[in-house]
């Protein structure tokens, strides 16, 4: 499918290298995609560096927001939400509600601060907990940006050593998310950016794909089993 690409808001850079949260929010609301560092500067200093590897790029947020709006999706759960970049930028880019699940408390604290700073606290919330242990809200869509991949990275590329990481955890988390997808209601959507390491259950049909982003973004919908 050919789709129009959101313009990259490079014009913000030369004239204003330090736009306010209101300006960045206005750009996202009007379908303009700022360069990532203009958004990342609102994260705590130590969480800006990991952004290019660990947090969703704004161009991906914009494409996913377009699909979410086209399909009338009202609620999304970001499994492994980090410091909230996807949830907050996606809320600014559309009308849906976003919940993030995150295992690291310091990232949940940063995510709540980010939502407050951008004034989207009424449509964005974060749960501190691990997949499989935390109670999850009923949602119309799941978003997965390869959340378990960090388990397989070398120590320098991992975010920190505050949580259990490793091949065994990776396998366990994939089993849990596959079960979650199997048990989801008919009609549930799944968005994956750079996959999640597991298999999308067979009753999910691919409804959108963008291969022109840094990694592949796909959207699936669960049909009748």
Ligand X SMILES: C[S@@+](CC[C@H](N)C(=O)[O-])C[C@H]1O[C@@H](n2cnc3c(N)ncnc32)[C@H](O)[C@@H]1O
Residues forming contacts to ligand X in the complex (CB under 6 A) are 54-56, 78, 80-82, 85-86, 101-104, 107, 130-131, 145-148, 173
Measured from the CB atom, the residue of 130 and 203 that comes closer to ligand X is 130
The DSSP secondary-structure symbol of 46 reads: G
Measured from the CB atom, the residue of 12 and 90 that comes closer to ligand X is 90
Rounded Cα distance between 181 and 204, Å, is 9
Q: Please state the closest distance from residue 107 (CB atom) to ligand X, in A.
A: 5
Measured from the CB atom, the residue of 54 and 112 that comes closer to ligand X is 54
Rounded Cα distance between 141 and 160, Å, is 29
Rounded Cα distance between 95 and 69, Å, is 8
Using CA atoms, how far residue 73 sits from 65, 141, 194, in Å, is 10, 7, 21
Residue nearest to ligand X (CB): 80
Q: Please state the closest distance from residue 126 (CB atom) to ligand X, in A.
A: 11
Tell me the two tokens of residue 30: 């009007």
Measured from the CB atom, the residue of 56 and 221 that comes closer to ligand X is 56
Q: Please state the closest distance from residue 207 (CB atom) to ligand X, in A.
A: 20
């Amino acid at each position: 499918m050919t789709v129009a690409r959101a313009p990259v808001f490079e014009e913000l850079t030369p004239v204003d290298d330090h736009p306010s949260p209101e300006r960045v929010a206005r750009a996202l609301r009007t379908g303009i995609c700022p360069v990532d560092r203009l958004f990342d500067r609102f994260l705590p200093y130590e969480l800006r560096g990991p952004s290019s590897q660990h947090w969703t790029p704004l161009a991906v947020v914009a494409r996913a927001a377009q699909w979410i709006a086209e399909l009338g999706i009202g609620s999304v759960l970001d499994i492994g939400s980090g410091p909230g970049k996807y949830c907050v930028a996606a809320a600014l880019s559309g009308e849906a509600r976003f919940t993030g699940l995150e295992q690291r408390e310091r990232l949940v604290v940063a995510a709540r601060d980010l939502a407050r700073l951008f004034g989207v606290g009424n449509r964005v919330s974060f749960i501190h907990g691990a997949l499989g242990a935390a109670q999850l809200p009923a949602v119309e869509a799941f978003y997965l940006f390869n959340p378990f991949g960090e388990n397989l990275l070398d120590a320098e590329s991992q975010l920190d050593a505050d949580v259990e990481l490793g091949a065994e955890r990776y396998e366990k988390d994939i089993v849990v998310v596959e079960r979650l997808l199997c048990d989801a209601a008919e009609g549930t959507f799944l968005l994956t950016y750079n996959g999640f390491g597991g298999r999308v259950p067979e009753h999910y049909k691919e409804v959108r794909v963008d291969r022109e982003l840094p990694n592949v973004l796909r959207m699936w919908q669960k049909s009748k089993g």
